[in-house]
Amino acid sequence: MKDYQEQDALVLFSGGQDSTTCLYWAKRQFRNTYALCFIYGQRHSQEVENARRIADMARTPFQVLDAGIISRLAPNSLTDFSVEMDEGKPAGSYPNTFVPGRNLLFLTFAATLAYAQGVKHLVTGVSEADYSGYPDCRDTFIRSANATLNLAMDNQFVIHTPLMWRNKKEVWRLADELDVFDIVKNETLTCYNGILAEGCGHCPACRLRNKGLQEYLAERGNNL
Ligand code: ZN
C-alpha cells in the first residue's frame, strides 16, 4: 500500500468488531486518525458510549454526528423497536436489519465533515465477503460513491475498505496482526441485543462474529 504517513484519515466508527479493527488499521497507515460515530436511533445508546470508550483507549479524537433522520425515513428492525428482527435472510429480499441508503448517507456526511477538516482519506469497515446481502456493502457501490463524492465536492477523497474481501475469520486474523486481538474480542459491541464482547450468542451479528472467531482460533491453534 502507498505510504500515507503524511496524511490523515477519518474512520466511520461504531465500536463494533469491524470498525474497531479498521480504526487500529488506520492508526498504522496514517499520520492522524479521527473517529466519527453516527447516532441514528440505534437500539442501544450504549453503543455510542462504548465507541467513545474504545476511541479513548486508542487515543483517537472522537466525534458523534446525529443522523437520526435515517430512522424516520423507512421502518427497519435496527431503528424501530416495534419491528421484529429477521434472524436470517428472507428469500428474494433483504433482511429487515437493512437500512436503505444508510452507507450512502454516512459516506456523504463523513466526506462533508472530512472536507471541512481538510481530511482526504475515509475508512469504512464494509465487507462484501461475509455481508448479509446489503447492496451498500459492495465494492462496486463504494467505488461509485467515491467517484460521486469527488465530483460533488471537486475533491480527491480516497475511500479505504480494508475488510472488503475478508470474511469474519480473516477480520479476526487482521486484528491479531495489528496486536489488538484482545481489545477487539473483549471491548467491542457487535450484538444487536447490546451485549458487549461475546454478546447474546443468538442474534445474526453474534452468530457471524462467533463463527468467525471459532474458525480463527482453530486455525491459529494449529499454527502455534
Ligand atoms: Zn447478539
Distance 210 CA to ligand 1 centre (A): 10
Q: Is the pLDDT of residue 43 over 70?
A: no
Distance 46 CA to ligand 1 centre (A): 14
Rounded average pLDDT over 154-179: 97
The alpha-helical segments, DSSP class H, found in 86-180 are 102-117, 139-153, 168-177
Distance 81 CA to ligand 1 centre (A): 15
* Per-residue pLDDT reduced to its tens digit, 57-97: 999 999 999 998 888 887 665 555 565 655 555 555 666 66
Mean pLDDT score across all residues of the chain: 89
pTM: 0.90
Q: Is the pLDDT of residue 132 over 70?
A: no
pLDDT recorded at residue 41: 74
Distance 18 CA to ligand 1 centre (A): 15
Distance 196 CA to ligand 1 centre (A): 9
Cα–Cα distance, 18 to 3 (Å, whole number): 23
**Which grid coordinates are listed for 100?**
436503505
Question: Among 163, 200, 181, which residue's Cα sits nearest to residue 87?
Answer: 200
Distance 131 CA to ligand 1 centre (A): 16
* Per-residue pLDDT reduced to its tens digit, 133-147: 789 999 999 999 999
Query: For the chain, give me the number of helices (H) and strands (E)?
Result: 8, 5
Distance 48 CA to ligand 1 centre (A): 17
Q: Is the pLDDT of residue 46 over 90?
A: no
Distance 26 CA to ligand 1 centre (A): 27
Distance 212 CA to ligand 1 centre (A): 14
* Contact indicator for 54, 175 with CB cutoff of 8 Å: no
pLDDT recorded at residue 76: 60
| Domains of the chain: residue spans and CATH | 4-167 (3.40.50.620)
Q: In sequence order, which residues have a C-beta less than 8 Å from that of residue 94 and are 6 or more positions away? A: 132, 133, 134, 135
Distance 198 CA to ligand 1 centre (A): 8
DSSP per residue, 169-200: HHHHHHHHHTT-HHHHHHH----TT---TT--
Most confident range (mean pLDDT) of 39-43, 74-78, 126-130, 158-162 is 158-162
* Contact indicator for 188, 20 with CB cutoff of 8 Å: yes
The number of residues in the chain equals 224
Cα–Cα distance, 142 to 136 (Å, whole number): 7
Distance 211 CA to ligand 1 centre (A): 12
Distance 202 CA to ligand 1 centre (A): 5
Contacts 24+ apart (CB under 8 A), 148-156: 149/107, 149/108, 149/111, 153/111, 153/112, 153/115, 155/111, 155/115, 155/120, 156/120
* Contact indicator for 118, 20 with CB cutoff of 8 Å: no
Distance 192 CA to ligand 1 centre (A): 5
Distance 213 CA to ligand 1 centre (A): 14
**What angle in degrees, to the nearest 10, is found between the helix axes of 46-57 and 17-29?**
30
